[in-house]
Amino acid sequence: MDFELTEDQRALKATIREFAEAEVAPRAAEWDRQGIFPLETIRKLGDLGVMGIPFPEEYGGLGQGSFELAIVMEELARVDSSVAITVGANVSLGGAPIALFGTEEQKQRWLAPLARGEVLGAFGATEPGCGSDLQGTRTTAREEDDHWVINGTKAFITNAGTEMSAFVTITAVTGMRPDGRREISNILVPNGTPGYSSARPYHKLGWHASDTRELSFEECRVPRDHLVGQRGAGARQFLAVLDGGRIGVAAMSVGLAVGALEMALAYAKERTAFGRPIASNQAVAFKLADLDMEIEAARLLTYKAAKLRDAGRPFAREAAHAKLFASELAVRAADAAMQVFGGFGYIEESPIPRFYRDAKILTIGEGTSEIQRLVIARHLGCQVS
């Protein structure tokens, strides 16, 4: 497996880095402080084509793959995780279910504008009572007069409530199986549908400039053809979507760790104590050396999962490896950067607290670290639950 970037991939990386440095880095602290969703920046990223990277050209995409998306996610998260997750959730959770399982009509109507960067899409699986365990889903959808009538609540949903948000695809119980388990299906609900409402954004620890809300459905009616994929296949489809999303979260984690290392390194070379730069102390320099090594390992795991996916080969185990290792590294990297910065690292005027606050969710969203270990252990043949 060759991980060398092609000329086009190097050019993509350079373009996104330039954009991130010029458009995102100077404003990220302000967006974070004030909880501003960066609408214009997200539109500009859409104009660059990033929302359509892995989608076919006939649906407004660039016809590239998970590998190119990983390159973009790393570069964005290197300067700001809120912008990165807005892109990642839009592509991997908003667009992917339709790209993977939607009808031709659904792809033209919902995927194409998302891929062109005109609208944002969301995916709503988590509820107040369940996240890791989809069988805990309580939201229901019953059939009535050629419609689905939806009732329930979704928690912590990304990208559903912005000015650009056009739809959310949800998991809903559409019946019971003969074995007594819930039959779960995916149904697309356009924004503005009567009975569908979203609450104010949550007050989160991090990702302050990303849109996260609770969604409510009360006798919310959507046409029967808003079913995405097969009836009853919603849980399987959701897990397939998540496998892909995990590569994006892994790439974000690498990016956050790179940003933290770069800041810590620059500070350690410049800050003096006891008459010399603090980087001259092995205790500081070795911390940075370990991060450099672990970032390389995390990036290679991420690239491997992306390459497997792009080659149409099984990649769930490798995506779990990448997500688990990289997200836990991101937390360690932010912690190490704060330690290197000393007291200034604890002050919000420095960029370190934003990275520190943004890192933790990477070990929780799109499958917690424990769920990644479950996935890997099952691939090893362990009957673990």
Ligand X SMILES: Cc1cc2nc3c(=O)[nH]c(=O)nc-3n(C[C@H](O)[C@H](O)[C@H](O)COP(=O)(O)OP(=O)(O)OC[C@H]3O[C@@H](n4cnc5c(N)ncnc54)[C@H](O)[C@@H]3O)c2cc1C
Residues annotated as catalytic are 366
Closest CB 132 distance from ligand X, rounded Å: 3
Instruction: Pick the closest to residue 154 from 134, 125, 188, 131 (CA basis).
Output: 125
Distances (CA, A) of 198 to 89, 154, 216, 254: 17, 9, 6, 32
Instruction: Pick the closest to residue 159 from 18, 316, 27, 46 (CA basis).
Output: 46
- For ligand X, the binding residue among 59, 148, 207, 341 (CB under 6 A) is 207
How many whole angstroms separate alpha carbon 337 and alpha carbon 329?
12
Site mask, ligand X, residues 268-287, x = CB under 6 A?
--------------------
Using rule CB under 6 A, residue 365 touches ligand X: yes
Question: Please, which residue, 240 or 374, has the CB nearer to ligand X?
Answer: 374
How many whole angstroms separate alpha carbon 159 and alpha carbon 253?
19
| Token representation of residue 215 | 């969604």
Binding segment for ligand X (CB under 6 A), chosen from 124-132, 261-269, 284-292, 307-315, is: 124-132
Using rule CB under 6 A, residue 131 touches ligand X: yes
Closest CB 69 distance from ligand X, rounded Å: 17
Closest CB 123 distance from ligand X, rounded Å: 5
* E strands, the chain, in order: 120-124, 140-144, 147-158, 165-176, 182-190, 196-198, 212-223, 227-228, 272-273, 276-277
Closest CB 362 distance from ligand X, rounded Å: 10
Max CA separation in the chain (angstroms): 79
- For ligand X, the binding residue among 123, 267, 303, 315 (CB under 6 A) is 123
Closest CB 211 distance from ligand X, rounded Å: 9
Binding segment for ligand X (CB under 6 A), chosen from 20-28, 155-163, 322-330, 333-341, is: 155-163
Question: Please, which residue, 46 or 124, has the CB nearer to ligand X?
Answer: 124
Contacts for 220 with CB less than 8 Å, ≥ 6 apart: 149, 150, 151, 189, 193, 194, 195, 196
Q: Are 284 and 342 in contact (CB under 8 A)?
A: no
Using rule CB under 6 A, residue 297 touches ligand X: no
* E strands, 52-127, in order: 120-124
Binding segment for ligand X (CB under 6 A), chosen from 227-235, 253-261, 283-291, 358-366, is: 358-366
Beta bridge mates, 184: 173
Residue type, 257: A
Instruction: Pick the closest to residue 79 from 264, 355, 362 (CA basis).
Output: 355
How many whole angstroms separate alpha carbon 84 and alpha carbon 76?
5
Instruction: Pick the closest to residue 28 from 176, 150, 207, 174 (CA basis).
Output: 207
Site mask, ligand X, residues 83-122, x = CB under 6 A?
------x---x----------------------------x
Using rule CB under 6 A, residue 364 touches ligand X: yes
Question: Please, which residue, 279 or 361, has the CB nearer to ligand X?
Answer: 361
- For ligand X, the binding residue among 6, 132, 135, 230 (CB under 6 A) is 132
β-bridge pairing 120-124 and 165-176: parallel
Using rule CB under 6 A, residue 370 touches ligand X: yes
Question: Please, which residue, 97 or 124, has the CB nearer to ligand X?
Answer: 124
- For ligand X, the binding residue among 28, 99, 306, 371 (CB under 6 A) is 371
Site mask, ligand X, residues 45-84, x = CB under 6 A?
----------------------------------------
Closest CB 205 distance from ligand X, rounded Å: 9
Q: Are 243 and 316 in contact (CB under 8 A)?
A: yes
Closest CB 127 distance from ligand X, rounded Å: 8
Closest CB 214 distance from ligand X, rounded Å: 11
Question: Please, which residue, 19 or 156, has the CB nearer to ligand X?
Answer: 156
Task: Point out which residues bind ligand X (CB under 6 A).
Answer: 89, 93, 122-126, 130-132, 156-158, 204, 207, 212, 361, 364-368, 370-371, 374, 385
